[in-house]
Amino acid sequence: MYTKSIFSNNNFIKKKSLKSIFYTHFKLLSIPIKIINRSSPLSKPILLCLITLITFSVNHLAAKKEDVPFRWGAAYDFMAPRIGGLSSVNLDASLSYGQFKHTLFLAHININDDHLTDESFCKDNLNGFGYRFEIFSHKETKNWSAGLLLMYSMHDVTTVHNKQEGSFNTIMVGVPLGYTWVLWDRVTINPNISILVPITNRTVTIGSDKEKQAPWGLEPGIRIGYRF
């Protein structure tokens, strides 16, 4: 979808739509925002950073004299089957314009033995969702990119030491880095890596065992997507 077909001769409609975009993305963040407010002393700087990024991207778009195309997209990240097998999925839904991209993602990953630590869990089934904001080096949302992500994940686990079963939730922040190729103006190929840091429940109690999460992690992946 392109702004030209909607806003071509009406600046008022264009400004109203830009406000609507900002409001939509803020509402999409409302669930993890509420969770962070209850759970983490780092909530204020994280929220300030996310809101600043969204405000910057919308204001940058509003300052453009020419119409900027809006592109909806969907993608599948092969990071999920890499660490969890074929039953695991990581799906993206995105809105991009100019150099900016906003993404909601959903993950279900049954982490396999090769990616579990010997010190903590022998089983970790993860379900999570989150928001990712990226800035690209090219005005058509391609080439190099960097950004910020926020993820809320729920884990069903079994501990290594005493085989205790239980569950816990955690919030992670991260920095996604990547490079995107675009084929035929539709298909996207995005090798990427994310630096992830848990900010809540770094130490969890499962039954009689007390386990520590890794202080940080690197997760490489390859996203294949389609832009409408």
For each of the domains in the chain, give its residue range(s) and CATH number, in order of start. Answer: 69-227 (2.40.160.20)
In 82-186 the beta strands, taken as DSSP E runs, fall at 89-97, 100-111, 121-136, 143-159, 165-183
Q: How far is Cα 154 from Cα 151, in angstroms, rounded to an integer? A: 10
Host H or E run for residue 195: strand 187-198
Q: What angle do CA 206, 173, 129 make, to 5 degrees?
A: 75
Provide the sign of the torsion angle of the four alpha carbons 89, 191, 129, 76, taken in this order: negative
36 Cα distance to chain centroid: 15
Inter-residue contact 133 to 148 (CB < 8 Å): yes
Inter-residue contact 171 to 199 (CB < 8 Å): yes
Could you list the pLDDT tens digit for every one of the 228 residues in the chain? 333 433 334 443 344 455 555 555 555 555 455 555 555 555 556 566 666 666 665 655 555 545 667 889 999 999 999 999 888 999 999 999 888 899 999 999 999 888 887 677 888 999 999 999 999 999 889 999 999 898 999 999 998 888 889 999 998 988 999 999 999 999 999 999 999 988 888 888 888 888 888 888 889 999 999 999
Q: Output DSSP code: residue 161.
A: T
